[in-house]
């Protein structure tokens, strides 16, 4: 049965979950957005491949917003801040592969290591973010995604040998399709600044937060910081903080006996009526109804 995507992140929005094991740092997933319509912004050191099985929605990769549909393959390069939001009338279902590039790394001097893997690991290069049915090499690339996903799920004898071969074949087809480009150094710098601010917000969301306070941490002017923040998160600063507080309130509503007022105060809302209004806007139901229907 498909599972609803829920992500536990640390204070920098880095995902806490480990993917696979130290010996085989790969994991495969089958997910949907039926209950939680958004997969909140997060990042991890691993690369991720996401194949859209059905539905439609939006995927955010750093500052880029992609409209996705059935058949699209999304490539999330390591360290990229990303999230997914489904269209409510066409719920997203997808499969994904999360893997550490160290699984494919070789010794110094190895051509694959020097010309491909190291560049991706050091964020000097990245793969194209989306491949659709009309793109070159689409068939071969998606077939290899399928084979990697199935190989890991089935775990036949010596499957780990086959997995490595399939990943290299996948990378070969991506390279032959010219789906690798130099990374933007300025974007890497601005992304590091945004991650620092998200870290601070996630640590202090229950406290009063001001634009001036967060701008000072960014080392940018307030105008540029606000512009950059919206480019990376898709939201104004106030909207992002409100949405984060609402996300933090959801498990408290489902798994605690605290009153709505107590939960509002715990996650940083000083006004219960304002919390209820924003919760209703975000979820389509009041906190009381959310608790009653889903707990």
pTM for the complete prediction?
0.74
- Same domain flag for 223 and 276: yes
Residue among 198, 276, 267, 282 nearest 232 (CA)? 198
Check whether residue 170 and residue 279 sit in a common domain. no
Residues 163 and 44 in one domain: yes
Distance CA 66, CA 62 (A): 11
Same domain, 84 and 176: yes
Q: Residue 219's domain spans which residues?
A: 185-294
Same domain, 123 and 239: no
Residue 284: give its domain's CATH number.
Answer: 1.10.10.60
Closest by CA to 40, choosing from 3, 75, 81, is 81
Based on the fold, state whether residues 143 and 190 are members of the same structural domain: no
The span from the CA of 260 to the CA of 272, in Å, is 8
The residue that leads in pLDDT, 286 or 185, is: 286
Which of 164, 182, 200 terminates a domain? The answer is 182
- pLDDT score recorded for residue 4: 43
- Looking at per-residue pLDDT, the higher value among 22 and 225 belongs to 225
Statement to judge: residues 116 and 261 lie in one domain: no
Return d(Cα 15, Cα 283) in angstroms, integer. 23
Tens digit of each residue's pLDDT (9 = 90 or more) over 234-281: 889 999 999 999 989 999 999 999 999 999 999 999 999 999 999 999
d(CA 261, CA 188): 41
Instruction: State how far the Cα of 71 lies from the Cα of 78, in Å rounded to an integer.
Output: 22
| Claim to verify: residue 44 and residue 170 sit in the same structural domain | yes
């Amino acid at each position: 049965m498909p599972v609803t995507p829920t992500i536990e992140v640390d204070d920098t929005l880095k995902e806490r979950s480990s993917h696979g094991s130290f010996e085989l740092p790969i994991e495969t997933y089958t997910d949907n957005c039926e209950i939680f319509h958004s997969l909140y912004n997060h990042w991890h050191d691993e690369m991720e491949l996401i194949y859209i099985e059905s539905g439609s929605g939006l995927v955010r990769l750093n500052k880029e917003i992609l409209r996705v549909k059935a058949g699209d393959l999304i490539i999330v390069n390591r360290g990229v801040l990303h999230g997914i939001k489904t269209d409510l009338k066409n719920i997203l279902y997808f499969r994904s592969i999360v893997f550490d590039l160290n699984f494919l790394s070789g010794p110094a001097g190895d051509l694959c290591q020097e010309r491909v893997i190291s560049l991706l690991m050091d964020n000097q290069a990245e793969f194209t973010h989306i491949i659709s049915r009309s793109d070159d090499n689409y068939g071969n690339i998606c077939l290899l995604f399928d084979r990697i996903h199935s190989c890991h799920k089935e775990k036949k004898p010596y499957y780990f040998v086959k997995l490595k071969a399939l990943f290299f074949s996948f990378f070969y087809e991506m390279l032959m399709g010219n789906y690798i480009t130099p990374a933007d150094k300025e974007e890497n710098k601005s992304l590091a600044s945004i991650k620092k601010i998200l870290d601070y917000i996630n640590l202090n969301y229950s406290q009063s937060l001001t634009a001036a306070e967060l701008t000072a941490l960014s080392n940018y002017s307030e105008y540029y910081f606000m512009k950059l923040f919206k480019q990376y998160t898709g939201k104004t600063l106030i909207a992002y903080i409100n949405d984060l507080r609402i996300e933090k309130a959801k498990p408290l509503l489902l798994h605690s006996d605290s009153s709505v007022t107590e939960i509002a105060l715990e996650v940083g809302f000083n006004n219960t009526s304002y919390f209820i209004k924003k919760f209703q806007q975000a979820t389509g139901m009041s906190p009381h109804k959310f608790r009653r229907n889903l707990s």
